Structure 1
């Protein structure tokens, strides 16, 4: 079995040549409402981050992977697995698909590919995500991939127009019963 390769995408480690894409995505203030960014990152800080990134989920508690379109080999997004909890075998997830590649099936392929890796290789029991209620596309994606709504957080995300609630979704490893 080949992990981290989907139908349309492949997930790979961050490389130095990803600096321009990461810099662009991290500094696109229109995307900040979907994460926790409140200020731009310098190119220097992004370069240092890439140089020092270990991709060791057990040590760092996170794993960031580039989403690459298999056909073109072009980076089209980034996948984050974070808040890794080895004791309870769970982690939070999030993904960003470049706006020029949305609504083409890349998000679903990415999430399905990572879930297979997380459940069969990392042996996680569950994955979870917090999604602002205004992000209906993301909610639809996670629901389509078998995540179930399990919580409601009031005034969880600050947006330019005020606060928005967030919903918590989780996916339990389907190979583990009970």
Structure 2
């Protein structure tokens, strides 16, 4: 399954070696994961394989590789996880793993496609996420897409010699700016 935008497309993530291998490389790049992973642990290939299988084989998750349309190159992942079909909500995540694509609008385009799918295809009422308070670039993106702060876990994360909050943000379907 593909969702296409101007510069990227989302393709269903696979638990096959190619997707697992690419994601494993990103998942063990400290510079990439410092903004999304609270532990910064080094993951074994089996850890990554199990994580990807958890997303690709669960009824309550939808995982997608973000590919650049022009080159078919995978540049990141985005997913809906913890999908609650009864209450029509889900958590969303995004990682642009290829650092050459940072700060160029690819994340915004990918997230917009994911939100279109969440609200228009799955008919979700709400999508929410967690973001580290020091990840100002991501917070600005989420705010532009219509997310609002719902709360925070104060000083939940110790990174680079300081304590940081984990911010919870949500977006209701009626507030989504397509």
- Which TM-score applies when normalising by structure 1? 0.84
| Structure 1: segments with no counterpart, 5+ residues | none
Alignment: residue pair count: 172
Quickly say closer, same or farther: Cα 1:48–1:130, change in 2 above 3 A.
closer
Structure 1 counterpart of 2:44? 42
With over 3 angstroms needed to count, the CA separation of the structure-2 counterparts of 1:150 and 1:105, relative to structure 1, is same
Task: Tell me how far apart the structure 1 counterparts of residues 119 and 67 of structure 2 sit (CA, whole Å).
Answer: 21
Task: Give the distance between the partners of 1:71 and 1:26, measured in 2 at CA.
Answer: 24
Residue equivalent to 1:159:
159
Partner of 2:28: 27
Distance in 2 separating the partners of 1:130 and 1:45: 22
How far residue 10 of structure 1 moved from its aligned partner, in angstroms, is 0.8
Q: What does residue 92 of structure 1 align with?
A: 91
1:103-137 superposed Cα distances (whole Å, 9 cap, x missing partner): 11101101111111000111111111111110000
Tell me if the contact between 1:130 and 1:168 (Cα under 8 Å) persists in the aligned partners: yes
Question: Please, which moves more after superposition, 112-121 or 41-50?
Answer: 41-50
TM-score normalised over the length of structure 2? 0.84
What is the Cα-based RMSD across aligned positions, in Å?
2.4
Unaligned runs of 5+ in 2: none
When residues 77 and 11 of structure 1 are mapped into structure 2, their CA distance, relative to the original with a 3 A threshold, is same
What's the CA shift string for 1:54-99, capped at 9, x where partnerless? Answer: 7355x3x322210011111100001122122222111111111121
Superposed CA deviations along residues 123-165 of structure 1, whole A, max 9, x for unmatched, are 1111111111100000011111111222232112231313201
Residues 1-178 of structure 1: pairs in structure 2 closer than 5 A: 4-15=3-14, 16=16, 17-33=18-34, 34-47=36-49, 50=52, 52=53, 55=56, 59=59, 61-97=60-96, 98-174=98-174
